[in-house]
A and B are shown apart, each in its own frame.
Chain A
Amino acid sequence: MRKTAIVVSLIVFAALLVVTAFLIHPFGDPPSAMDDYIIKNTQIETGANNAVTAVVFDYRGYDTLGEATILFTAVTGVVMLFRRRKRT
């Protein structure tokens, strides 16, 4: 019973993945409105030549703030875990 449920759910999941792979936006053709907007307006609005950096630090600044927070948390955790005990 449980095995059949697992197998059925796996088959349904795989079928969903296959359907999504056929429905996915084709690579680069046609580009979406967001891509066009960023490619056209990055140099005018932000002044940066590198559109990826402009997206990371300007259009999607919140994401970078989250990444920085993740790094900060990781460093805090590692330093706390590997701290040296005082020898007695």
Chain B
Amino acid sequence: MMMSKIVRTMTHLLVPLTFIYSVYLIMHGHLTPGGGFQGGGVFASAVALLIIAFGSQNIHKSLKEHHLSILESSGALIFIGLAFGGIATIFFYNFLTGSSIFGRIPPTGSNPGDIWTGGVIPLMNFAVGLKVIAGLSAILLTMALATSLKEVEE
């Protein structure tokens, strides 16, 4: 079931901003406060807004659970693969620092930072963000669908 037109219009305005903010939190996790978990939580809050405003049945037409589960599994696989990438030295070794991919070393001390630093950390942030986005959205969608079905049956 849908909510009123006012709520839907405000959702149209707010959801893109929230998505952009969540992607910013994930991609700047190694420079500013935030990271994969926090950005994924912000994204899931936008999905919750969508589900409340438009109804879980309408959202379910374009967002299926098995797609989300594929996304979550691929995030976990990227994370574990990156962790195994440094196994020549030790598990979870940061093997990309100093290389050509995300390998710049920032100056020591307070500085605004550079997006192309951090070695394996931005990629891990991305993997964890993908995982949290898919996982929390799957939880929200499944719970909303279950409650909406119960309303129909009663």
Residues on A lying within 8 angstroms of B by beta carbon are 43-50, 52-54, 56-58, 61-62, 64-65, 67-68, 71-72, 74-75, 78-79, 82-84
21 contacts between A and B (CB under 8 A): A46-B97, A47-B98, A47-B103, A48-B30, A48-B121, A49-B106, A49-B113, A49-B117, A50-B29, A52-B35, A53-B29, A53-B35, A54-B30, A54-B118, A61-B83, A68-B79, A68-B131, A74-B139, A78-B142, A82-B143, A83-B142
Q: Kindly identify which residue among A48, A78, A84 contacts B117, using a CB–CB cutoff of 8 Å.
A: A48
Q: Kindly identify which residue among B29, B30, B35, B138 contacts A75, using a CB–CB cutoff of 8 Å.
A: B138
Known: A46-B118, A49-B106. A62 touches B92 (CB 8 A): yes
B91 neighbours in A (Cβ, 8 Å): 61-62
Q: Are B117 and A68 in contact (CB under 8 A)?
A: no
- Bound-state CA distance A79–B68 (Å) is 11
Q: Are A56 and B79 in contact (CB under 8 A)?
A: no
- Bound-state CA distance A82–B147 (Å) is 9
Number of A-B residue pairs at CB separation under 8 A: 115
B149 neighbours in A (Cβ, 8 Å): 84
Q: Are A56 and B35 in contact (CB under 8 A)?
A: yes
Known: A47-B106, A67-B37, A68-B76. A78 touches B29 (CB 8 A): no
A78 neighbours in B (Cβ, 8 Å): 138-139, 142-143
Q: Kindly identify which residue among B117, B131, B143 contacts A47, using a CB–CB cutoff of 8 Å.
A: B117
Q: Are B132 and A65 in contact (CB under 8 A)?
A: no
B145 neighbours in A (Cβ, 8 Å): 82, 84
Query: A68 to chain B: closest CB distance in Å?
Result: 6
- Bound-state CA distance A84–B148 (Å) is 11
Query: B37 to chain A: closest CB distance in Å?
Result: 7
Q: Is B120 an interface residue, CB under 8 A from the partner?
A: yes
- Bound-state CA distance A53–B35 (Å) is 7
Q: Kindly identify which residue among B30, B94, B132 contacts A71, using a CB–CB cutoff of 8 Å.
A: B132
B108 neighbours in A (Cβ, 8 Å): 43-44
Q: Is B31 an interface residue, CB under 8 A from the partner?
A: yes
B131 neighbours in A (Cβ, 8 Å): 68, 71-72
Name which residue of chain B comes closest to A42, CB basis.
B108
Q: Are A47 and B65 in contact (CB under 8 A)?
A: no
